[in-house]
Structure 1
Amino acid sequence: MNTVQTDIDRVPPLPSKLKVLLADYPEILQELQDALVDVMRSKSLEPPFEFALWRLEDILSHHMINAGAELRSAKEHGDPKAIEVATEKDRVMSRARSMNSGLSDLHELFDFFTENKDAWK
């Protein structure tokens, strides 16, 4: 995964559970990482942890909605393989977006923004 260095020379960490859940979707992991870097660079976004969380939620919500649409489309076309793939993607995206699963352990991300709070002064 490509990462961009910030002026504090660290990149906000992706939550571990998201990395596991989305291992088969590297493009989504990169999109999430890029969003965290954007929050880091946008020093006017305060409080940064909350903005980072909102960005993650927004991106995951978008992918969850798209996965549901892909599943509906696959069912309409009746292709069993496409239905199987879309069902799995819909399940993964729903879990990733859940505050009880993919977004349930944000300690590392919270700690990152707490440790780097001076970057927003």
Structure 2
Amino acid sequence: MSVPPESRYAVLARRVVETYAAQLLRDLQIINERTVRELGPPPHGGLPVQVKRKPKPAPWVQPVPALDDNAHTAPHVPMPERKDPAMSKPMPPAIENGLPAPPVPQKLRELLKDYPELIQRLQEVLDDYSRKPNRLMPFDGAIWALEGRLDSFFSEAREELEAAYAKGDPEGIEKAKKKRFAVGYSRLNKGPMSELASYFEGARDQVIRNARP
């Protein structure tokens, strides 16, 4: 049997994939050059080795234990309504399909492990974004939100370094340099964003499953 020729759609799809792959390679080269230009060479001894960890399953794919038909069910006790709004905790943010807000990618947490306040601010950005996500490009919107906050971190670290130089504080200068390098590397390193891609792919699949009759 002769192999049928590729359809116009298949040819177009293949060209799009090839173009996208070439663009990724160019972007990586630009990122590497920009990292060395802005931050200089890596510190003596290199960056700490990041141990690959198995990603935790998303909350919506956790197995649900089956109920035993013979098991006795506890009577339903209505919970009393809380009158004091100050005592009630806010509900965790969720995207439109009811899924919880994505956590800060693990690799970003490792790069910024010495700065827990920055990790908390990144989580706040994701929480705010999840309340009003970009309907057409939810994954891209989350990346833009994180990149915007990382840019502000880099500006703050640069200002701290300038202030340390102005005071002539050697310890403050070294501390600010370390922070600027960690923030700058996090800002230019696109690897952690793959965790967000996995999250939103799972969210999309969950929406599709929920939409099925």
TM-score (norm 2): 0.49
Q: 1:43 to 1:94 in 2, by over 3 A?
A: closer
Counterparts of 1:38 and 1:95, CA distance in 2: 24
SS at match of 1:12: coil
Maintained 8 Å contact 1:15/1:106: yes
Query: After superposition, what is the alpha-carbon deviation per residue over 1:61-111, rounded to whole angstroms, capped at 9, x for unaligned?
Result: 00101101111111121111111111111111111111xx3x323222111
**Are 1:85 and 2:175 matched, yes or no?**
yes
1:105 is matched with 192
8 Å Cα contact 2:105/2:195 also seen in 1: yes
Does structure 1 retain, via aligned residues, the 8 Å contact 2:161–2:173? yes
Match of 2:157 in 1: 67
Which residue is 2:201 aligned to? 114
Q: Aligned-residue CA RMSD in angstroms?
A: 2.3
Q: How does 1:22-101 map to 2 (within 5 A)?
A: 22-98=112-188, 101=189
- 1:6 paired residue among 77, 94, 98: 94
Q: Gaps (5+ residues) in structure 2? A: 1-90
Name the % identity. Answer: 34
Q: Which has the higher contact order (CA 8 A, sep 6+)?
A: 1
Change (3 A) 1:4 1:61: same
Distance in 2, matches of 1:44 and 1:104, equals 22
Count of residue pairs the alignment pairs up: 115
Give the CA deviation at 1:39: 2.0
Where 1:116 maps in the other structure, the secondary structure is helix
TM-score, scaled relative to structure 1: 0.82
The one-letter amino acid paired with 1:91 is F
**Matching of residue 16 in structure 1 with residue 93 in structure 2:** no
Judge conservation of contact 1:67–1:89 (CA < 8 Å) in 2: yes
Whole-angstrom CA distance in 2 between matches of 1:29 and 1:4: 17
CA distance, structure 2, for counterparts of residue 69 and residue 9 of structure 1: 38
Secondary structure of the structure 1 residue equivalent to 2:119: helix
Q: Would you tell me which structure has more helix in proportion to its own residues?
A: 1
Mapped to 2, the partners of 1:72 and 1:110 lie a distance apart of 36
User: Based on CA coordinates, which of the two structures has the bigger radius of gyration?
Assistant: 2
| Structure 1: gaps (5+ residues) | none
